[in-house]
Chains A and B, each alone.
Chain A
């Protein structure tokens, strides 16, 4: 290799490395900033207690539970529908205007700002269908919000499975559905799980979409039905940092809440990642 080629290579390599380190440094910086601010507040009581003194101290148990409920609920709405739609799009739909139209609408849906989903949820689920400000309305709104993510990852994961599997399965006398259910879906599942992880992270952190549909300002009591309101971590964080009774006094409490939300999303990601790896291992060797 000539001298100048070598030099060029070194420059390009160094540039890429510096940029990569910089990007990592930013995310690590954000994480540690939140971590060191919030860690002193964390305690068993913080996780299990309810907000006190005008939400300037105490615990955040109702908000944690609310966020978990919203994750599960919106998952129940979006995962089956999204995965079935993804299967339909990749395995059944013919290359025609209908498929193109559905794909266009799915992409549009993914690009809509979440506050618009929030307003839609309020207009349609809360008022239109009369579900009120409730867990049901919130889960439906969040479900619609993450639907495009699920549909697209399912579709992409299925596209990734070689046609050889399909042909080999048909050649053994399997029907189309047997082929999808027993060969294609299991092979695609690890990648579909990735989409589910993304969606869960999105739901856990979503604020605008729950603003008018489910989130309660202060509600220490556990919900007893899907028609109840509930607190949720991101909205709670927003409230105590912007419109609480004493924002300055609530600062440590807010930092703890932020760290909890971060840990929750991280934890769920790790869990889902572990599950994906396990699935992959089962397939490979």
Chain B
């Protein structure tokens, strides 16, 4: 029994190394349509997102970029009248399959929200929360510490882990939310305008963090900040009125976009 366990552990770590070595399709959407009731928010979206890359989603408000983000962890399921058509594959598996365990999916696809949302609990318990609800009861202390270190927050909070998380500054709260997300070791992290509620210094700390986290995670970030998209992302997707107008390497999008709409948007002509 125990030998079997260690064998599967080995396989797992081999798998992970393989993932790290090759750039492969992590997320694929095929003919993805999304509806809020009668309103079509996404129209025939075809994308492929590779592992260990940062993808920026840009576009004017209401263009569908947040909807697309929330398709990937099925957060839209909570909205009444929401409907998905087409295919969304993560690691080759259709995440809208009826047999899929949605909590397992969300454990694998973490999310950081626009407004920092620490729970009204201690700093420690905030990070431990995801571990506890997912039944990871071993080495909680070590995992919390490691996650806080990875989120570049450990040095600031290590002496008052028992204090309420609500006493932290906005930037610290957002890094806490990132620590909370990476504690359960997802493959993918979705970020919905993670710095728009923060001051410039906190925002740049988060940006640095995103670039570090890329080593271990696949990151998709919605942003209204063009400079930010340019700085942190490998690929950029420009959404417009529910269409994926353009999707390419970030330098290409910002220097020589194919679409006139993209060009007008990134030059600030509308938005």
Partner-B contacts on A (CB < 8 A):
164-165, 167-175, 178, 182-183, 186-187, 282-285
Contacts and interface: CB of A to CB of B under 8 A. Distances in A.
Interface stretch (B34-42, B107-115, B215-223): B107-115
Interface of B: 73, 75, 78, 103-107, 110-111, 113, 115, 117, 119-121, 129-130, 132-134, 163-164, 166-167, 177, 180-181, 184
A171 B73 contact: yes
B193 to A, nearest CB: 14
Contacts of A183: 119, 121, 129
Given A165-B117, A167-B78, A183-B119, A172 B163 contact: no
A11 B103 CA distance: 60
A282 B226 CA distance: 41
Contacts of B132: 182
Given A171-B110, A172-B107, A187 B133 contact: no
A170 B106 contact: yes
12 contacts: A168-B117, A168-B119, A170-B75, A172-B106, A172-B110, A172-B134, A172-B181, A173-B105, A174-B133, A178-B133, A182-B132, A186-B121
A284 B119 CA distance: 10
Nearest to A95: B80
Contacts of B78: 167, 170
Contacts of B106: 170-173
Nearest to B134: A173
Contacts of B164: 282-285
Given A170-B106, A171-B110, A164 B117 contact: yes
Contacts of B105: 173
B182 to A, nearest CB: 11
Contact of B184 (A164, A173, A284): A173
A165 B119 contact: yes
A168 B120 contact: no
Nearest to B101: A173
B130 A173 contact: yes
B75 A167 contact: yes
Contacts of B134: 172-173
A168 B104 contact: no
